[in-house]
Chains A and B, each alone.
Chain A
Amino acid sequence: MRFAIGRPDPKEAQTGERLSMDMSRPGRRALDLPPLDVPEAPPPPSHLLRTSLRLPELSQNEVVRYFLSLSRLNYSVDSGFYPLGSCTMKYNPKVNEEVASLPGFAHVHPLQQRHTIQGALYLMFHLQELLCRITGMDSSSLAPAAGAQGELAGMLMIKAFLRDHGQSQRNVVLVPDSAHGTNPASAAMAGFQVVTIPSNAQGNVDLEALRETLGPQVAAVMLTIPSTLGLFEPNIQQIAQMVHEAGALLYGDGANQNAFLGRARFGDMGFDVVHLNLHKTFAAPHGGGGPGAGPVCCKSHLAPYLPTPVVEQTDEGFRLTSPPRSIGRLLAFWGHFTVLVRAYAYIRALGEEGLKAVSTHAVVNANYVRTRLKGAYHLPYDRPCLHEVVFSTVRQKAKGVKALDIAKRLIDYGFHPPTMYFPLTVPEALMIEPTETESKENLDAFCEAMLAIAREAEECPEVVREAPHTTPLARLDEATAARRPILHWQGG
């Protein structure tokens, strides 16, 4: 057996298995409080008091060691390669953190008077402009808190636009089966009925199926581009024409803009509205559930409906405003401002050439992995990909080794597993997105691990089926954990 770098030492990690409650000793304290120097207030009446609030009693160094040992079990993009497909786990330059923590950005309050926050508004205004340039759109709003909220905003904008144009009967949204899973959910949340459009054998939208389904009821088509197969839609201009001739609008899911940043623009392809994920493409740290930012960018006919606020430039400086027919607010205040700061710093630091280089390297890296692994793993769509590549482990499944097992075995080799079982159109899918920030040496180490696992699946499949072997805990029983979750301390 061969292991790559970065695996946790099981002995070292042992303390992480002990719960803080196990270490608790009655009366132990992390802090000594000074003597009371104010009159003692009576406690709340007893019927309002919990009978027992079981908290661990620990000394300060026990608390510090406990949480430090837990943190050392974490895997992050700062600890190693993280090829989680569709998530763009690129390395986030640390200078962005420094910029976002400048007091003028970090310490402003959203209700401050506007003449005191002109710098922050300047940044938002210019980020709006930059995102319009990048997407080829006319207007944008930075309000949405995440990609899926950007989708919802776009759907609500389309709904409002159609209502204002006497087209309220259009209540169907078409979503290809290779779209992000959030797309149909967002359309349904906006009150549309969702109809799925199949892909053809090449992984593109089935144009005949689309033609048959387009009609007077269709409000919009939601297209993820590149698709969740990591493939560009070569018929996009024809699709845009068909959609518009049928009186519908075209929504673009730009979450994976890393694939053609600086090279192709949604506006030029014929999209009416698109959202971007700043926390993926524009290097704001993510993976722990946020905060993210999912700005929407649109053509001028949808601009009056953009979510509140947008920043506009006036003779008296920048100000926050609400577009005339706005769909309204999506969250409290003005969006996740420090995510916007990071994205702005990233775009300005890289410039036009730098952004082009991002997509070049992202695509070259994914195709490098595709080419190196396609002898060992089945490649359902054997054509050049963009930022990510989807393999199927059906060949290994014949030996009783599933995509899940291969993902678990990668942990032994020191890598974060790729996305599994998505897209749903590929059985036993492993979706690999290397991103642009990895060196050839790292990609080679990952590919060597994948090739070694393919050999193991042939020669000693049980080693793969029982992985991981090097983590503090072996294969977790995810099914029982989901069926009968234990959510609180069970001890005495």
Chain B
Amino acid sequence: MPSPADRLYTKEHEWVQMEDTVGTVGITDYAQDQLGDIVYVKLPPVGQQVRQMEPFGEIESVKAVADLYAPVSGEVVEVNGELEERPELVNQDPYGRGWMIRIRLADRAELANLLTAQQYDDYIAQGADA
């Protein structure tokens, strides 16, 4: 299935959906499938500054632990607290209720570093590592 075209992607399999200056961040369907059953998501507190392509949290599945990379720099303005009790939402609805954080964008120019849905789908079709 093609990735949703209404957002941008990283090669580390995060997505960001922009609304004005705030971007909602999650991981892709491909990433949740590769990771398998998610058991824990560690997210930063509201107010923390994150930098593009630096880790903002960790995700743990029955198979592995992986870093979560920030698609854009800025301040964390909201965190999906529901994942604390229900990390399986990342598996069930990675593009919806499985969202992780919202970042107030520091530099709009950074969006140019991200992949479009088409570019991301081509990237995983070439056999990217999860």
Confirm or deny: A479 has a beta carbon within 8 angstroms of a beta carbon on chain B.
yes
Given A478-B62, A479-B62, do A425 and B129 touch, yes or no (CB 8 Å)? yes
Q: Which of A422, A478, A483 contacts B87 (CB 8 A)?
A: A483
Q: How far is the CA of A404 from the CA of B37 in the complex (A)?
A: 12
Decide if B64 touches A482 in the complex (CB within 8 Å): no
Given A479-B88, A482-B39, A483-B39, do A420 and B63 touch, yes or no (CB 8 Å)? yes
Decide if B130 touches A478 in the complex (CB within 8 Å): no
Task: List A145-198 residues whose CB lies under 8 Å from chain B.
Answer: none
Task: List B60-90 residues whose CB lies under 8 Å from chain A.
Answer: 60, 62-64, 87-88
Task: List A471-487 residues whose CB lies under 8 Å from chain B.
Answer: 478-479, 482-483
Q: How far is the CA of A422 from the CA of B130 in the complex (A)?
A: 12
Nearest CB in chain A to that of B129: its residue: A425
Confirm or deny: B21 has a beta carbon within 8 angstroms of a beta carbon on chain A.
no
Q: Which of A422, A427, A478, A482 contacts B129 (CB 8 A)?
A: A427
17 A-B pairs, CB-CB below 8 angstroms? A404-B36, A420-B63, A421-B63, A424-B129, A424-B130, A427-B129, A427-B130, A478-B37, A478-B62, A479-B37, A479-B38, A479-B39, A482-B37, A482-B39, A482-B40, A482-B60, A483-B88
Confirm or deny: B34 has a beta carbon within 8 angstroms of a beta carbon on chain A.
yes
Q: How far is the CA of A483 from the CA of B88 in the complex (A)?
A: 9
Q: How far is the CA of A482 from the CA of B64 in the complex (A)?
A: 13
Nearest CB in chain A to that of B38: its residue: A479
Q: How many residues of A contact B (CB 8 A)?
A: 11
Residues of chain A within 8 A of B39, CB atoms compared: 479, 482-483
Q: How far is the CA of A478 from the CA of B63 in the complex (A)?
A: 10
Max chain A C-beta neighbours (<10 A), residue from B36, B60, B62, B88: B62
Residues of chain A within 8 A of B88, CB atoms compared: 479, 483
Q: How far is the CA of A478 from the CA of B87 in the complex (A)?
A: 14
Known: A425-B129, A479-B88. 10 other contacts (CB 8 A): A404-B36, A404-B63, A422-B64, A427-B34, A478-B37, A479-B62, A482-B37, A482-B62, A483-B39, A483-B88
Q: How far is the CA of A7 from the CA of B63 in the complex (A)?
A: 26
Distance (Å) between the CB of A200 and the closest chain B CB? 14
Residues of chain A within 8 A of B129, CB atoms compared: 424-425, 427
Task: List A394-440 residues whose CB lies under 8 Å from chain B.
Answer: 404, 420-422, 424-425, 427
Task: List B34-62 residues whose CB lies under 8 Å from chain A.
Answer: 34, 36-40, 60, 62
Residues of chain A within 8 A of B64, CB atoms compared: 421-422, 424
Residues of chain A within 8 A of B63, CB atoms compared: 404, 420-421
Residues of chain B within 8 A of A483, CB atoms compared: 39-40, 87-88
Residues of chain B within 8 A of A427, CB atoms compared: 34, 129-130
Residues of chain A within 8 A of B34, CB atoms compared: 427
Q: What mask results when residues 448 to 492 of chain A are scored 1 for a CB within 8 Å of chain B, else 0?
A: 000000000000000000000000000000110011000000000
Nearest CB in chain A to that of B61: its residue: A479
Residues of chain A within 8 A of B36, CB atoms compared: 404
Residues of chain B within 8 A of A424, CB atoms compared: 64, 129-130
Q: How far is the CA of A47 from the CA of B41 in the complex (A)?
A: 40
Q: How far is the CA of A424 from the CA of B60 in the complex (A)?
A: 14
Distance (Å) between the CB of B33 and the closest chain A CB? 11
Residues of chain B within 8 A of A478, CB atoms compared: 37, 62
Residues of chain A within 8 A of B62, CB atoms compared: 478-479, 482
9 closest cross-chain pairs (CB), A and B:
A479-B37, A482-B39, A421-B63, A478-B62, A483-B39, A479-B62, A479-B39, A421-B64, A483-B87
Q: How far is the CA of A483 from the CA of B41 in the complex (A)?
A: 10
Distance (Å) between the CB of A292 and the closest chain B CB? 22
Distance (Å) between the CB of B129 and the closest chain A CB? 6
Task: List A317-350 residues whose CB lies under 8 Å from chain B.
Answer: none
Q: How far is the CA of A483 from the CA of B37 in the complex (A)?
A: 10
Max chain A C-beta neighbours (<10 A), residue from B36, B63, B87: B63
Distance (Å) between the CB of A308 and the closest chain B CB? 33
Q: How far is the CA of A482 from the CA of B91 in the complex (A)?
A: 15
Task: List B17-41 residues whose CB lies under 8 Å from chain A.
Answer: 34, 36-40
Nearest CB in chain A to that of B91: its residue: A479
Q: How far is the CA of A482 from the CA of B87 in the complex (A)?
A: 11
Nearest CB in chain A to that of B37: its residue: A479
Q: How far is the CA of A421 from the CA of B61 in the complex (A)?
A: 11
Distance (Å) between the CB of B126 and the closest chain A CB? 13
Q: How far is the CA of A420 from the CA of B36 in the complex (A)?
A: 13
Q: What mask results when residues 116 to 130 of chain B are scored 1 for a CB within 8 Å of chain A, else 0?
A: 000000000000011
Q: How far is the CA of A421 from the CA of B37 in the complex (A)?
A: 13
Distance (Å) between the CB of A198 and the closest chain B CB? 10
Residues of chain A within 8 A of B60, CB atoms compared: 482
Distance (Å) between the CB of A378 and the closest chain B CB? 12
Distance (Å) between the CB of B58 and the closest chain A CB? 13
Q: How far is the CA of A427 from the CA of B34 in the complex (A)?
A: 8
Residues of chain B within 8 A of A422, CB atoms compared: 64
Nearest CB in chain B to that of A478: its residue: B62
